[in-house]
Amino acid sequence: MFDEKTVEQCRKLMKQYDEAIAQRYQGKDFSSTTDSSGIPIKSLYTPLDLQDLDFEKDIGFPGAYPYMRSNYPIHYQFQSWINQPVHGYGLPEHTRERMDKLAAAGMEGYFGGRAYNIVCDVPTHFGVDPDEPDAQGYIGKDGVSCPTFEDFGRMLHGMDLTKTNIVLINGDTLAYLAHFIVYAETQGLKPSQLRGNTMNWQFGAWYAPNHMWEPEGGLKLATDVIWFCSKEMPNWNHTNIQGHGMSESGADAVHQMTYGIATAIAIADSCVAAGLDPDAFMPGIGFQIAQCNDFFEYICMFRAWRKLWANIAHDRYGCKRASSMQLRTHTHTSCFELTKQQPLVNLIRSSFHALGAALSGTTAMEVAAYDEPIGIPTEESAVLALRIQQVIRHETGITKVSDPLAGSYYVEWLTHRMEQEARKILKEIEDAGGFVKAHKNGMLMAELRKHSAQWRRSIDKGERVVVGWNKYTVPEKQVIKPFRADPKVAKVAIERIKEFKAKRDQAKTDAALNALVAAAKRLDKGEYGHIMPACVEAARARATCGEISKTLRKVFKWGPEYTMAVQM
Amino acid sequence: MKSQGRTKVLLVKHWMECHDRGVKSVATILRDAGFEVVYIVYMRPEEVATSAVQEDASVIGMSFSTGAYDDHVPVVMRLLKEKGLGNVMVLVGGLIPDEDIDWLKKQGIKEVFGAGTDTNYLIELIKSVARN
């Protein structure tokens, strides 16, 4: 990449540099490894490390294929990232209070629009209604209890959904999306007018300990959600690949990127096999990316991830649209690296994570609140986390230039190296018979566990310093008051779901659920396009999220035996 | 690794809890310390007591990241007593606000661990079961 004169100069200076080190430090070795992925790191990078790179192919320009430097030629100078703090607790009206407070604190979507990143509680996540025994102890505690379209109404009333971006963080996407669509219908809106995001995790959350779909069935369900959204919801991003979850479960930077891409490939392959046009569904796939402590490594991961994804979209799927090749990213700053000890220090950690994400050119951001290791955020901690984003955007000046770290010998070398590492692992997965097989035989989970155990061991031994945990400790007394949802939530949620069911024509509900069984059987045979309309019809007939999810489980296998994460 | 004899640790987490890095770290640390460790994901708290009988566990570690201990712990403690396992040491870990620790101890929980646990203390505590 550099002319002969520069390379010659570099060689000469490198020799002098090595001699200076030998003289000053008596031959001590200063090379190290990165914290996360174990890539050997030298103490200096120069043009000599980039000699094999091709400028146009390996670095290029922002806004041009393969988009390593940014999706857009002009990025934050024109359009800032979306503020997407995760929020949700208690009853829908409680969550609405937090939505309004964050909006009042300046939480913005693109160009000052409204965007809400709403998380439901775990029962709603997994199709368990509040009146079921399994839900007890969990209602409204870590997210909003929202199992019906009436609950969506309690949360979203008065909002113009054609102009508001609603992210639905939920595990059992089909039932939840169906109820969201039915709520929109009550406002006179069609699915095509809605904008936002579903997670579509029936297959993608393979690293989680929750009961799961049998992988092949989960993949079919995920594909049919994409089928529906590609045809009926052009403004809807249907699928979110949870790199952050993989990171929290133990993946290092290279494996977060690689396993994220491998999950997406499995889904995209399934969509192609179902007959969908890649340029119709690829733009709806996004990645949730964890930005962790090792500052440069995670920036380089991000850049390599954009390039790899563009290459795969172009070469493997023959995509032609730029939006099919551009990596849509929601940054979720690291949580496992935050400490319960001296929790205000987490504000400092998260600021660095968020700065790294902004320097990486992310398109949306959730910054973890400082009380994350104690509970879900209080209003104060949630607003402070938003303030981190606002300070970076308005005060640091880093938004003036696209991909400002490009051209750093270290950054370009590490980006390239991480791309090479990821390609190796992607090939290993292909060689193992593809992602589904690698997932089922435990290969992926074993890697996550290995790395998480190494991380913990290095802290316990004091090899890795965590400020306030294993060094610079002080006697702790927890002064932070943990956030707690209103204790009456469970009682009200149970009353509401009973009331919701009491208002229905049971024969009509039963018929809709029977029709859903028939649609599920068709999907099981490989006939796509019937299941989401059947879910919407069931929601119209006032079948709850829990009832719709459990109906699907009559046809598609679901249960603890598919929870690979439990295997030790 | 030296075996710790009959000290068997049952680690449990509810199926809807999404965050299991902590409990798995504990599993690895205890195995490395020579204990026999079984990890299960349960649906109802009743299963914890049943599994404790089946596994002949001396120690149970319940992990919570979503706050359901107020509902699940009293059920598990009652059932253990009913099944004659009142002397099994039960520990709780995860995301537990300090202000809830006293309440948990009143339910019969021996110790509450959270983020940044001193693993040596955990190991010594479990070894004390074998000694008694």
Residue B1 forms part of a structural domain: no
Task: Write down the pLDDT at residue B120.
Answer: 92
Name residue B61's beta-bridge partners: B11, B91
Q: Do B19 and A478 touch (CB under 8 A)?
A: no
pLDDT at B1 exceeding the cut of 60: no
Shortest CB distance from B115 goes to which of A137, A373, A568?
A373
Q: Do B41 and A340 touch (CB under 8 A)?
A: no
Task: Write down the pLDDT at residue B132.
Answer: 67
Task: Write down the pLDDT at residue B116.
Answer: 85
Mean pLDDT, all residues of chain B: 91
Task: Write down the pLDDT at residue B94.
Answer: 94
Task: Write down the pLDDT at residue A208.
Answer: 80
Confidence of residue B93 (pLDDT cuts 50, 70, 90): very high
Residue B67 forms part of a structural domain: yes
Beta carbons within 8 Å of A390's beta carbon, 6+ residues apart: A106
**A252 vs chain B: nearest CA distance in angstroms?**
14
The alpha carbon of residue A346 and the mean position of all alpha carbons in its chain are separated, in whole angstroms, by 21
Task: Please check whether residue A378 touches B, CB under 8 A.
Answer: no
Pick from A375, A370, A367: nearest CA to A346: A370
Residue B24 forms part of a structural domain: yes
d(CA A91, CA A130): 11
What domains can you pick out in chain A, each with its CATH number?
4-56 (no CATH), 57-72+83-460 (3.20.20.240)
pLDDT at A505 exceeding the cut of 80: yes
Return the CATH number at B81: 3.40.50.280
Shortest CB distance from A133 goes to which of B39, B40, B44?
B44
Q: Do B95 and A453 touch (CB under 8 A)?
A: no
Task: Please check whether residue A565 touches B, CB under 8 A.
Answer: yes
Confidence of residue B2 (pLDDT cuts 50, 70, 90): very low
- Residue recorded with tokens 């019809």: A537
Task: Write down the pLDDT at residue B11.
Answer: 96
Q: Do B28 and A453 touch (CB under 8 A)?
A: yes
Task: Please check whether residue A211 touches B, CB under 8 A.
Answer: yes
**B36 vs chain A: nearest CA distance in angstroms?**
12
Task: Please check whether residue A348 touches B, CB under 8 A.
Answer: no
pLDDT at B4 exceeding the cut of 50: no
Per CB-CB distance under 8 Å, the chain B contacts of A349 are: none
Identify the domain containing residue B29 by its residue range: 8-131
Point out the least confidently predicted range of A170-179, A477-486, A520-529.
A477-486
Phi/psi at A212 (nearest 5 deg)? Answer: -130, 165
Residue B3 forms part of a structural domain: no
Phi/psi at A115 (nearest 5 deg)? Answer: -145, 135
Q: Do A566 and B66 touch (CB under 8 A)?
A: no
d(CA A429, CA A305): 17
Q: What does the pLDDT look like over A271-289, one tens digit per residue?
A: 999 999 999 999 999 999 9
Q: Do A248 and B21 touch (CB under 8 A)?
A: yes
Rounded to two decimals, the ipTM of the complex is 0.92
Average the pLDDT over B30-57 and give the result: 93
Q: What percent of chain A has pLDDT over 90?
A: 88
d(CA A210, CA B41): 8
Counted domains in chain B: 1
Task: Please check whether residue B1 touches A, CB under 8 A.
Answer: no
Phi/psi at A552 (nearest 5 deg)? Answer: -60, -35
Task: Please check whether residue A458 touches B, CB under 8 A.
Answer: no
Pick from A449, A513, A345, A389: nearest CA to A108: A389
Task: Please check whether residue B21 touches A, CB under 8 A.
Answer: yes
Task: Please check whether residue B25 touches A, CB under 8 A.
Answer: yes
Residue B73 forms part of a structural domain: yes
Confidence of residue B109 (pLDDT cuts 50, 70, 90): very high
Q: What percent of chain A has pLDDT over 70?
A: 99
Residue B102 forms part of a structural domain: yes
pLDDT at A24 exceeding the cut of 60: yes
Task: Write down the pLDDT at residue A566.
Answer: 57
The chain B residue lying nearest A485, using CA atoms, is: B67
Q: What does the pLDDT look like over A38-66, one tens digit per residue?
A: 999 999 999 999 999 999 999 999 999 99
What letters, b where the CB count within 10 A reaches 16 and e where it falls short, cover A505-544?
eeeebeebbebbeebbebbbeeebebbbbbbbbbbbbbbb
Task: Write down the pLDDT at residue A564.
Answer: 65
Q: Do B21 and A375 touch (CB under 8 A)?
A: no
Q: What does the pLDDT look like over A335-381, one tens digit per residue?
A: 999 999 999 999 999 999 999 999 999 999 999 999 999 999 999 99
CB A335 within 8 A of CB A353: no
The chain A residue lying nearest B28, using CA atoms, is: A453
Residue B127 forms part of a structural domain: yes
Task: Please check whether residue B68 touches A, CB under 8 A.
Answer: yes
DSSP B78-132: HHHHHTT-TTSEEEEEES--GGGHHHHHHTT--EEE-TT--HHHHHHHHHHHHH-
d(CA B59, CA B111): 11
User: Chain A to chain B, count of Cβ pairs less than 8 Å apart?
Assistant: 102
Name residue B37's beta-bridge partners: B9
Angle, in degrees to the nearest 10, between helices A253-273 and A409-431: 50
Query: What would the two tokens of residue A40 be?
Result: 């050997």
Q: Do B18 and A122 touch (CB under 8 A)?
A: yes
Mean pLDDT, all residues of chain A: 95
Residue B74 forms part of a structural domain: yes
Judged on CB neighbours under 10 Å (0-12, 13-18, 19+), A234 is middle
